[in-house]
Structure formats: structure tokens, C-alpha cells
Amino acid sequence: MRIAIYSRGLESEQSEGLKILLSEFSHYNIEPVIYQDFFNQFYSSIDLTHTYSTFNRPEDLDEIDFIISLGGDGTLLDTITFIGGRKIPILGINYGRLGFLASIGRDEIHTALEALAKRTFVLDQRSLLHLDANMPLFDGCCYALNEFTIHKKDTSPMIKIHTYLNGEFLNTYWADGLIVATPTGSTGYSLSCNGPIVFPDSASFVITPVSPHNLNIRPLVVPDNSIISFEIEGRTDGFLCTLDSRREIASKEVLLAIRKEVFNINLIRLNENNFLQTLRNKLSWGLDKRN
């Protein structure tokens, strides 16, 4: 079995957890393949008794069984840019703060590796969105697990976002920006802008304005077989366009459209974890703090 490890980097005090992880790999006779930049960060500070393979590009993962993301949710979103349509299951071990997607704690490393070795895990299929544009954006990696956003630049005035649903005019948003979130992304940026929480298998997009000028504008849930397209007006030449944690500056002449991506991402969870437990544990869902 070959398992890739991706991380942006760990703090020095977290190196012990990495040692435990590599020890578990050895115990289960798993061959690790480590992201090259991450390997360069820690190889001199950890006593390595084996020679490890590394990867740099998505093409290096063609013979990988699983990939482990070490970090927070942002690290897991980065990991997805390497996976694409390869259907490699992702295990997120949380070294960050909230850990909504990377929900497996550092104290669960042994349990998680045992589940991988014995195939006693559950795969959650998560849908993605895809961005189409009439100009090159995001180096061809035009998909996102959480959300796509249009946002004004810095302190520039609000922008006008003419929005169409399957070619029919929906609304013009006078706002700082607009979010199109997947069900997975409904607990992220969209939620902080008063968007609804929707279940991962709900087959929908959530359209949420950011600081709208018209206060009667509310978030909208639409089927994910819809095509949502945009035309932008503003007093500046460009605006910010993001896919998850990646961003580009686009000119206001660009035409943008969002649709459901043709492939899904598989997130690994342990049998005892589910979406409702994550809501309760991570968002204090229903917690009574009066006592």
C-alpha cells in the first residue's frame, strides 16, 4: 500500500506527531510518499531510518492508494488541487484550529492508520463546483470543494454582480461580493455571511451575498444541476475571484459561470463520526451554555 502525505508545514513542537505517523506506517508496512517541500522542511530535524519517496506534481500520484493531509482545513483544500479526478481518498488529520474537514485529531493517528490498513473506514463523497471563464484563470485548476467568490478589491466601492440562473436573469447584487458555496462549503465563508447549513448530500448550491446594499436580499439555495453565470460592473478595472483558498484578479470584462464539477472528492471518516456529530462538536450545535 502506498500513501501520500501532504502538508504546508508543521510547527517544531508538532514533529513528534509526525514521528508517530511514520512509525505507524512502518508498523503496517505502508510506503509513504511525501510532498517534496514538506519533506525538505523536516528531514534534518527528524531522525529518519528509511529512505522515502517524494512527489511534486499531481502526475506523481497515479499509483497512490490514499493521501493524508496534515494541517487544518486550508491544507486539505490545497490537497484537493493535487487529486483532481483521480478519486484518491483523502484523510485529514487536524493540526490546525477548527478542523471541520480535517476532523481526525492527532490523538487518533493510530486508529486512523489501522482503519486504512484494514479498510474499516467510510467514504464521504463530496461534490465540487467548476468555474468556466472566457479568459485563463487559476492555471486550469478550475474547481473548488468549498466555494467560489466574487469580491471587490481592498477598499474599492461595492460592485454590481448581474447574476443569471440557466440563462435567465436572477438578480443584480449590489454588494461587496457574492459567494457560491457547495454543501461542504455551506459551513464556511457562506455561513459567516448568514448563509444556511445544508447537508453534504443535498445536491445544491448556496448563493450568498457579502454585505449587500439591499437588505431584503437573502441567501438562496438552488439545485446543483443549475448553471450560474455572472457579469460584473464596478468603478475599478478588476475584482477578486477565488476558488477555495486560491485567488486571482480578473478584469470586469470577464464572463464567469459556475456549474457542478463532473467528478467528486472522497473524504475518509472513521465509522463513529458523521456530519451531525461534526456540527455538534465543531460548531457547538445545540450546546446550552446557560449553566
Helix (H, G, I), strand (E, B) or coil at 269: strand
Using left for φ > 0, alpha for ψ between -120 and 50, and beta otherwise, residue 173 falls in: beta
Task: Indicate whether 5 pLDDT > 60.
Answer: yes
Residue with cell 522515502: 52
Residue whose C-alpha cell reads 509513504 in the numeric block? 32
Strands (DSSP E) contained in the chain are 2-6, 31-35, 53-55, 66-71, 90-94, 121-126, 129-133, 143-144, 147-151, 159-165, 168-175, 177-181, 204-210, 220-223, 228-233, 238-243, 246-251, 256-260, 265-270
Catalytic residues: 73
Summary mean pLDDT of the chain: 89
Domain ranges of the chain: 2-127+264-283, 129-260
Q: Does position 144 have pLDDT exceeding 90, yes or no?
A: yes
Q: What pLDDT is recorded for position 199?
A: 93
**Alpha-carbon span 112 to 231, nearest angstrom:** 46
> Is this model's pTM higher than 0.85 or not?
yes
Query: What pLDDT score was predicted for residue 252?
Result: 84
d(CA 132, CA 29): 43
pLDDT of residue 261: 97
Give the CA distances from residue 243 to residues 35, 209, 247, 261, in Å, rounded to whole numbers and listed in that order: 22, 16, 6, 13
H/E element, 116: helix 109-118
Q: How confident is the model at residue 24 (pLDDT cuts 50, 70, 90)?
A: confident
pLDDT value, residue 45: 65
Please tell me which residue, 33 or 103, carries the higher pLDDT value. Answer: 33
**Region of 54 on the Ramachandran plot (φ > 0 left; ψ -120 to 50 alpha; else beta):** beta
Is the model's pLDDT at 49 over the cut of 70? no
Task: Please report the pLDDT score of residue 186 as a whole number.
Answer: 95
Specify whether the CB–CB gap between 80 and 145 falls below 8 A. Answer: yes
Q: What is the largest CA-CA distance in the chain?
A: 63
Walk across the sheet containing 177-181 and list its strands.
Answer: 220-223, 204-210, 177-181, 147-151, 238-243, 246-251
Domain 129-260 belongs to what topology?
A: Tumour Suppressor Smad4 (2.60.200)
Long-range contacts of 215-218 (CB under 8 A, 24+ apart): 217/171, 217/173, 217/175
| Model confidence band, residue 107 (pLDDT cutoffs 50, 70, 90) | confident
Residues 219-236: what's their mean pLDDT?
95
2-127+264-283: which CATH architecture? 3-Layer(aba) Sandwich (3.40)
pLDDT of 182: 98
pLDDT of 47 reads: 61
If you average pLDDT over residues 63-82, what whole number do you get? 92
Q: What pLDDT, on the 0 to 100 scale, is given for residue 283?
A: 76
Q: Which residue has the cell 436572477?
A: 170
pLDDT, average across residues 95-103: 76
Strand partners, 173: 161
* Geometric angle at alpha carbon 209, from 256 and 285, rounded to 5°: 120
pLDDT of 255 reads 93
